[in-house]
C-alpha cells in the first residue's frame, strides 16, 4: 500500500504495538492512530514519512520515545495532535544537527524554532512543566491547545502577533502575571479564548478597551478578572458561552448582560460577589446557567424557555417559586435553588418537566406538603429538601421514581410513620429522614434497600423486630 496517502484509524479498538512498517508508507499525508490501546516502542519509522502534514497519536504513551526529534524532521507538518501522551515525563533530547536550539530548551520553543508551517498544535493533557516560549515563530498557527499541562510563567506578549490565531486554550496550567491589551493586539480572527484555572493570572485591560476580535467562547473562570464586571465583554455579539466563575468580581451585574447576547447558551458566574436582581429570562437563549454563590437578590426569575440546567443556590433570592409553573419546560433536567430565602409551597406542576432528574430546594423556608406530581418525574435521581418547614407525609407517588438514589428531607416537619413503600425504592443509596416528626418503628421493608450506603433516622425510631 505504498501509494496510500491517508490512514485514519482513530477509535478503532486496536491494541498492541504500532508496527514500525508504517514507515514504508512514504506517501502518507495524514496519520491518525488516536484513541486506541496502542503502545509505541520507538518512533524511528516516523522520520521516513517526510510528506506527512497531519499527525494524531493522542492517548498513546510517548514518554519513552524521542518524539520531538522525529516531529522536527517532518518539514510539511500542518496539524500535530499529541493529547494525553505523557509528554514531559522524560525530557526529549535534540540532535544539534537538527536544530540550532540547545538541548536544554523547552519542547515548545524548539517546535517554534523549526516547524513554522504548523497551523494546529494540540498538546492538551500532558506534563509540560516549562514556560511558554516566544510565539512569533508560530506565524501560521490557527489553533493552540495547551490545556491541562503545568506550563509556568507568564503568557508572552508575542502571542498578540499571531494574526491567524482562531482558537486559544491555555486552561489548567500554572500561568501567572498580567494579561493586557498587548496580548491580543493582532488577534482579529480569535473565536475561542480559554485561560481558565490559572489562579495567578490577572486580566488587566482598560475599562474602555475595544478588542479586535469577536469571540464565541470566553472562559476566564478561576482567573482574576474583577473587581469590576469587564465592560469589554459587551462588545462580543457572537457569544455562545461566557464563564466568569470564581473570577474575583465584586460588582453589580450590568443590565446589558441579560439582553446583549442573542446566541448565549451557557452562562456561568458562580463564586463571585455579584449583586443585583435577575430579570425575566424567558425570551433568552440560555440552556445552562450557574449564578450560584453570589449576592443576587429579588424573586426567582422566569426561566429561559429552553433551559436545561438552572443553578441559583447560595444567593439572597426571596419569595415564592410558583412562576416555575407558568411555562412548559420540556427539556429542563436540573434546578438548584438551595440556600436562599424562598418561601411558600413547592409548586405542584412537575408533569411539565418530563426530563427532570435533579431538584435541590434545601435550606430555604418552604412550607406545605411535598407535591405528589414529583412522581411524574420518572427520571428523578436526587431530591434534596432539607432545612425547610415542609409538613405532611412523604408522597406515595415517589414510588414511581425508580431511578431515585438520593432523598434528603432532614430538618422539616414531616409527620406520620416511615412509609413501608420505601422498601420498593431499590436504588436508594442515601436516605436522610431525621429531624422530622416521624414516629413509630422502622418498617422491616427498609431491609430491601440493598443499595443503601447512608441511612439517617431519628434515634427515637426503633426497628420492627417482625
Of 303, 330, 300, 293, nearest in space to 317 by CA: 300
Residues contacting 356, CB < 8 A, separation 6+: 332, 333, 334, 335, 350, 377, 379, 380
Position 110 scores a pLDDT of: 84
Work out the mean pLDDT of the chain and round it to a whole number: 93
Residue 411 neighbours by CB distance under 10 Å: 18
CATH code of the domain made up of 310-466:
3.80.10.10
5: closest CA among 46, 51, 41?
51
For residue 400, whether the previous peptide bond is cis, meaning omega lies within 30 degrees of 0, is no
Task: Report yes or no: 431 and 454 within 8 Å, Cβ to Cβ.
Answer: yes
Q: DSSP class of residue 336? A: E
pLDDT at 91: 67
Question: 320: which strand partners?
Answer: none
DSSP string for residues in 222-291: TSB--SSPPGGGGG-TT-SEEE-TTS---SBPPGGGGTS-TT--EEE--SS--EEE----TTS--SEEE-
Start-to-end C-alpha separation, the chain: 76
Per-residue pLDDT in tens (0 to 9) along the chain, 466 residues: 889 999 999 999 999 999 999 999 999 999 999 999 999 989 999 999 999 999 999 999 999 999 999 999 998 999 999 999 999 876 666 664 444 444 447 888 888 766 878 999 999 999 999 999 999 989 999 999 999 999 999 999 999 999 999 999 999 999 999 999 999 999 999 999 999 999 999 999 999 999 999 999 999 999 999 999 999 999 999 999 999 999 999 999 999 999 999 999 999 999 999 999 999 999 999 999 999 999 999 999 999 989 999 999 999 999 999 999 988 899 999 999 999 999 999 999 999 998 999 999 999 999 999 999 999 999 999 999 999 999 999 999 999 999 999 999 999 999 999 999 999 999 999 999 999 999 888 999 999 999 999 999 987 666 555 4
Q: How far apart are CA 453 and CA 443, in angstroms?
A: 18
CB 406 within 8 A of CB 430: yes
**Size of the chain in residues:** 466
* Distant-in-sequence, close-in-space partners of 216: CB < 8 Å, separation ≥ 6: 191, 192, 238, 239, 240, 241, 263
Q: What is the pLDDT of residues 232-275, one digit of tens each?
A: 999 999 999 999 999 999 999 999 999 999 999 999 999 999 99
Question: What's the pLDDT score for residue 160?
Answer: 97
188-239 tens-digit pLDDT: 999 999 999 999 999 999 999 999 999 999 999 999 999 999 999 999 999 9
Q: Between the CA of residue 147 and those of 125, 150, 198, 221, what are the distances in Å?
A: 6, 9, 11, 14
* Global pTM value: 0.93
Amino acid at each position: 500500500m505504498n501509494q496510500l496517502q491517508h490512514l485514519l484509524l482513530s477509535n478503532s479498538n486496536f491494541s498492541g504495538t504500532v508496527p514500525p512498517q508504517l514507515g514504508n508508507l512514504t506517501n502518507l499525508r495524514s496519520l491518525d492512530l488516536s484513541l486506541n490501546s496502542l503502545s509505541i516502542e520507538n518512533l524511528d519509522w516516523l522520520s521516513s514519512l517526510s510528506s506527512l502534514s497531519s499527525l494524531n497519536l493522542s492517548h498513546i504513551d510517548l514518554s519513552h520515545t524521542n518524539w520531538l526529534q522525529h516531529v522536527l524532521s517532518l518539514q510539511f507538518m500542518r496539524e500535530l495532535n499529541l493529547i494525553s501522551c505523557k509528554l514531559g515525563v522524560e525530557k526529549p533530547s535534540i540532535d544539534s544537527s537538527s536544530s540550532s536550539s540547545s538541548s536544554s530548551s523547552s519542547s515548545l520553543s524548539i517546535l517554534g524554532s523549526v516547524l513554522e508551517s504548523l497551523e494546529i498544535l494540540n498538546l492538551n493533557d500532558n506534563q509540560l512543566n516549562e514556560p511558554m516560549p516566544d510565539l512569533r515563530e508560530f506565524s501560521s498557527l490557527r489553533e493552540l491547545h495547551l490545556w491541562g499541562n503545568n506550563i509556568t510563567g507568564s503568557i508572552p506578549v508575542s502571542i498578540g502577533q499571531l494574526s491567524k490565531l482562531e482558537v486559544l486554550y491555555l486552561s489548567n496550567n500554572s500561568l501567572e502575571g498580567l494579561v493586557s491589551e498587548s496580548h491580543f493586539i493582532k488577534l482579529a480572527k480569535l473565536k475561542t479564548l480559554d485561560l481558565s484555572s490559572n489562579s495567578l493570572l490577572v486580566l488587566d485591560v482598560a475599562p474602555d478597551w475595544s478588542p479586535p476580535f469577536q469571540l464565541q467562547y470566553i472562559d476566564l473562570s478561576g482567573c482574576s478578572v474583577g473587581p469590576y464586571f469587564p465592560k469589554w465583554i459587551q462588545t462580543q455579539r457572537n457569544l455562545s458561552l461566557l464563564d466568569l466563575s470564581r473570577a474575583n468580581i465584586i460588582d453589580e451585574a450590568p443590565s446589558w448582560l441579560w439582553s446583549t447576547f442573542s446566541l448565549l447558551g451557557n452562562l456561568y458566574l458562580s463564586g463571585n460577589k455579584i449583586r443585583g436582581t435577575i430579570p425575566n429570562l424567558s425570551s433568552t437563549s440560555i440552556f445552562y446557567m450557574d449564578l450560584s454563590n453570589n449576592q443576587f437578590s429579588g424573586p426567582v426569575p422566569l426561566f429561559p424557555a429552553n433551559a436545561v440546567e438552572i443553578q441559583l443556590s447560595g444567593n439572597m433570592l426571596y419569595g415564592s417559586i410558583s412562576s416555575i409553573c407558568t411555562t412548559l419546560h420540556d427539556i429542563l433536567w436540573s434546578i438548584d435553588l438551595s440556600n436562599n430565602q424562598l418561601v411558600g409551597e413547592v409548586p405542584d406542576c412537575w408533569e411539565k418537566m418530563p426530563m427532570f432528574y435533579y431538584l435541590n430546594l434545601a435550606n430555604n423556608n418552604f412550607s406545605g406538603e411535598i407535591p405528589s406530581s414529583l412522581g411524574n418525574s420518572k427520571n428523578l435521581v436526587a431530591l434534596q429538601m432539607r432545612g425547610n418547614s415542609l409538613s405532611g407525609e412523604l408522597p406515595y407517588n415517589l414510588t414511581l421514581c425508580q431511578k431515585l438514589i438520593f432523598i434528603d428531607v432532614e430538618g422539616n416537619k414531616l409527620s406520620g410513620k416511615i412509609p413501608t413503600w420505601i422498601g420498593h425504592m431499590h436504588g436508594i443509596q442515601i436516605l436522610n429522614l431525621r429531624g422530622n416528626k416521624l414516629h413509630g418503628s422502622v418498617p422491616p421493608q427498609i431491609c430491601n434497600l440493598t443499595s443503601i450506603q447512608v441511612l439517617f433516622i431519628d434515634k427515637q425510631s426503633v426497628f420492627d423486630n417482625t
